[in-house]
Amino acid sequence: MTMQIERFESKEVLYTRALEIIKQVKAQGATTFGLATGGTMEPLYEKLRQSDIDFSDAISFNLDEYVGLDVQHDQSYNYYMHKQLFDCKPFKMSYLPNGLAENAEAEANRYEQLLQQHELDFQLLGIGVNGHIAFNEPGTSFASETHLVDLQPSTLEANARFFDSIEDVPKQAYTMGIQSILRAKVILLIATGEKKRAVLEQVIAGEYTENNPATALVKHNNVIILTDLQEGEN
């Protein structure tokens, strides 16, 4: 089991390191990349856009997608990914859950099947203020696979900043499960800002509890954590 923790004084250096890790993984032959959305990832996607990396021989899978948003909706994760990365650095194939699917269970199964057919070489992760990874909220089974979730009030609040009002935030999403995420060979978690400190420190301390979904990572054998939070400060 290895969990490598790297703390940075500067976000610029942190994101440069994240870019370096992705380039390294790719140079070592990775072809299937699990991707994340959210504010934390924007500086990384900017660096990827500006880099010489070429994903045209690779496949991507996103962690999650809101239910009910069309791919053209500017807050759908499909739209986000196109704007942040795919339009500039296209993959051979990019998969996201379909937020408009009519049958939620069938859609979750379809996505999980695709994931199982394409082993993830790499998975990028952010972390929610409540410890969620993808949209696996506290209490989610560590054995979970792709499923439909009801988003918790703290997640709706945290994501309201991207919408006109909190009422506009979709109440449900499709998400890879914890088990789907843990199957990835290398996991890179990026956690920045004081609001993430409490949940991140539990992971670093080696706690293992479904109350903090990110602590599932302590049992994975290749996790790298990049953070701008310094030890012992608050």
Binding site for ligand F6R (CB under 6 A): 36-40, 63-64, 126-128, 132-135
Least distance to ligand F6R from the beta carbon of 105, Å? Answer: 21
Reply yes or no on whether 64 is catalytic.
yes
Q: Measured at CB, which residue is nearest to ligand F6R?
A: 126
With beta carbons less than 8 A apart as the criterion, state whether 203 and 215 touch.
Answer: yes
What CA–CA distance (Å, rounded) separates 162 from 29? 35
Catalytic residue among 112, 121, 137, 145: 137
Identity of the residue, 28 or 83, whose beta carbon is nearer to ligand F6R in the bound complex: 83
59/200 with CB nearer ligand F6R: 200
Catalytically annotated residue among 78, 130, 136, 159: 130
- Nearest-angstrom CA–CA distance, 22 and 1: 20
Closest CB 197 distance from ligand F6R, rounded Å: 13
Q: In angstroms, give the least distance from the CB of 94 to ligand F6R.
A: 14
Residue 130 known to be catalytic: yes
Strand partners, 224: 4, 188
DSSP type of residue 118: S
Q: CA 67, CA 69: separation in Å to the nearest integer?
A: 6
Nearest one of 118, 45, 113 to 81, comparing CA atoms: 45
Cβ nearer to ligand F6R, comparing 40 with 144? 40
Contact 135, 102 (CB under 8 A): no
Closest among 228, 234, 145, 230 to 189, alpha carbons compared: 228
Q: How far is CA 104 from CA 73, 146, 231, in A?
A: 19, 11, 42
CB of 61 to ligand F6R, least distance (A): 11
Q: Helices (H), strands (E): how many in the chain?
A: 7, 10
**Residue 137 is a catalytic residue:** yes
Q: Measured between alpha carbons, how far is 32 from 115 in angstroms, rounded to an integer?
A: 10
For the bound state, the minimum distance from the C-beta of residue 93 to ligand F6R, rounded and expressed in Å, comes to 19
Q: Which is nearer to ligand F6R, 59 or 199 (CB)?
A: 199
Q: Which is nearer to ligand F6R, 44 or 59 (CB)?
A: 44
What's the DSSP call for residue 56? T
Provide the sign of the torsion angle of the four alpha carbons 160, 163, 169, 174, taken in this order.
negative
Catalogue the active-site residues: 64, 130, 132, 137
